[in-house]
Structure 1
Amino acid sequence: MVPLIIDLAGRHVVIFGGGAVGLRKATYFCREAEVTVVSRSFLPEFSGLGARCLEADLSTMDDNALADLLDGAFLTIAATSDEEMNNRVGRAAREAGALFNNARGNGGDTLIPSVVRGEEYLLAISTGGASPAVPRFLREHLEETYPHLDSMIRTEARLRETLKQTVPDQADRATVLRAVLHDPEAWAWLAEGEDKAYERIKERYL
């Protein structure tokens, strides 16, 4: 598999399952995609989430009705407790040309990673389901080790623009930017505020 970051604005995601797993998947995608959740029942937390909740019994649904639900779907997620039912959704998704993620059953062609998100960055971490604890460990480690990562990204962006005006050689600019990232004092200065840190970094490196 190849990791990608995809803009899902306007894309349709169909989730089967109104339980805890379906809720987690819907919460993940509702911030950007158009989400439809299909289930016989729904947890109360679905209310106000922004997803379209369609009450239906997949076990009594024929293949044509299932195909109709997947018409125009970009991604289909099977999140029911029934493995065979999930596998059936997977087969229908492939026939519809939609990407498929299976929470339980035969593997699909799409993994949903653990996400580390800041104001200026987005990181996706996956172990392919082998160890769900590892992505959480890495997320917590990143947050504890680099609490000012957003500030550093903004400071690097400002410094990069300044360097474009003062340092003609791209390799020299890259050297300065890397040096700042490896400078423990530069990270410490960010705790005092971005503007103050930026001025001290300029004094040292420009």
Structure 2
Amino acid sequence: MQYFPIFLDLKDKAVLVVGGGEVASRKVEALIKVNAQVTLVSPEIVPFLHDLVEKGQIRWLQQPYQSQLISEQYIQVWATTDNTSLNHQIHADAKKAGILVNVVDDQPYCDFITPSMMVRGKIQIAISSGGASPVLIRNLRESVESVLPQNLSLLAEFGGQKREQIKSDISGIDGRRAFWERFFDDKQVMDASDLSQLELRYQQLLSEPELPVNEVIWVIYDEDVELLPVKALRFMQKADLVLHPEQIQPECLELCRRDAGRSVYTDAQTLAQELKKERKQNRYICVFVHEQHAGLLTGLPEAGDRYFGPGAFKNY
């Protein structure tokens, strides 16, 4: 992973943008949406930027760029001109001042890059290829947007409203996490169109006892992680514990819930011992088994266990 993903709070933070064309317009438009204090440097600017200046949304220094304009007040510097040598000078000045700088469309001269964004109210989803393939990311974004719930913004708003209240309604982090999983998986919640419907279902689910969960899923995998079905991924994201062999592709584990426990098994005996202990804990357990070692499944699965992945159709 080349870049560390992070969301910056730029509210009321000073940002310098050098350039006055269409590229600068795109960056400035995004910056003012998060309430950054934008200073624009350029002898001339396009009508869109001029309109923002007239409205008092950005500050315009109507002059050519000069090195002394870089100062420690700025948290970011954007170089958006069509002059490569000037952009590189801006980069050098920013680095000398210890300020994060982005030279647009010139990746070696970027301390950070901006991902493709999907925004649904308080929900922000960012996708990046590390600058390798913007068109691929655009296509991926369109695919993701097509499956996002229509009421995603509403769900996020409701969850934010209940952030403190649920601490008194349900004790313990694990209990609250389990409740929210049950809540957001609920069909009435997924179909809700206003906050009152969500509040009603929230109260109903609080009063309904949660049934103990003791579920084991067996994920039979091979070298092609993309062959795992979507339904398997949904259960992997619920797993409280992941049992896996030592030699497993990191991509498989990265698809599981990040805060799930992880334990390595070396053979069928150690796996059987671990499962016997963990089945008593009322947990979602995900067991990875390579397709070549499907013999591990002999005698270990119990009635009600689920199978996913290549070869999962076989009668183990």
Question: What TM-score do you get using the length of structure 2 for normalisation?
Answer: 0.55
Match of 1:41 in 2: 44
Alignment partner, residue 81 of structure 1: 82
Give the superposition deviation at 1:205: 4.8
Q: Is the 8 A contact 1:77 1:103 kept in 2?
A: yes
Give, in whole Å, the separation in 2 of the partners of 1:15 and 1:92: 13
- 1:93 to 1:135, Cα distance in 2 relative to 1, 3 A: same
Q: Which structure has more helix as a fraction of its residues?
A: 1
Describe the shift of the 1:11–1:165 C-alpha distance in structure 2 as closer, same or farther (beyond 3 A). Answer: closer
Runs of 5+ in structure 2 lacking a partner?
208-316
**Higher Rg of the two aligned structures:** 2
Q: Contact conserved, 2:67 with 2:90, CA < 8 A, in 1?
A: no
SS of the residue aligned with 2:150?
Answer: coil
Structure 1 residue 182, shift from structure 2 partner: 2.2
Aligned CA distance change for structure 1 residues 102 and 147 (closer, same or farther; 3 Å): same
AA aligned to 2:155 is: M
Cα deviation for residue 159 of structure 1 reads 5.3
RMSD (Å) for aligned C-alpha atoms: 2.4
Deviations 1:51-74 (A, max 9, x none): 22223334xxxxxxx221112322
Q: Distance in 2 between matches of 1:11 and 1:159?
A: 30
- Equivalent residue letter for 1:129: G
Structure 2 residue 61 is matched with structure 1 residue 54: yes
- Secondary structure, in 3 states, of the residue corresponding to 2:27? helix
Equivalent residues in 2 for 1:1-206, closer than 5 Å: 1-31=3-33, 32-49=35-52, 50-58=57-65, 66-71=66-71, 72-105=73-106, 106-140=108-142, 141-142=144-145, 145-157=148-160, 161=164, 163-188=166-191, 190-191=192-193, 193-206=194-207
State the percentage of identical aligned residues.
25
Change (3 A) 1:53 1:148: same
Provide TM-score, normalisation by structure 1: 0.81
How many Å separate the matches in 1 of 2:166 and 2:28? 43
CA distance in 1, matches of 2:163, 2:14: 38
Contact 1:14 1:77 in 2 (8 A): yes
Aligned length: 197
SS state at 1:47 partner: helix
How much has 1:28 moved relative to structure 2? 1.4
* Structure 1 pair 42–187 and aligned structure 2 pair: CA distance change class (3 A): same
On the 8 A contact 2:188/2:201 being kept in 1, the answer is no
Q: Point out the more displaced range, 132-141 or 71-80.
A: 132-141
In structure 2, the CA distance between the partners of 1:12 and 1:156, relative to structure 1 (3 Å rule), is closer
Say if 1:150 and 1:138 are closer, same or farther in 2 by CA, change over 3 A: farther
Encode CA deviations 1:24-44: one digit per residue, 9 max, x unaligned. Answer: 111111241221222232111
Q: 2:294 aligns to what? A: none
**1:124-167 deviation per Cα after TM superposition (whole angstroms, max 9, x unaligned):** 33222222235544554336521111211233345555543343
What is the deviation of 1:79? 0.6
In 2: Cα distance, 1:159 partner to 1:69 partner? 46
User: Is the alpha carbon distance of 1:76 and 1:170 closer, same or farther for their aligned partners in structure 2, counting shifts above 3 Å?
Assistant: closer
Task: Measure how far apart 1:199 and its partner are.
Answer: 1.0
* Secondary structure of 1:8 counterpart: coil
SS at match of 1:74: strand
Structure 1 residues 194 and 9, CA gap change in structure 2 (3 angstroms): closer
Paired letter, 1:54: L
Aligned to 1:62: none
CA–CA separation in structure 2 for the residues paired with 1:28 and 1:119: 15
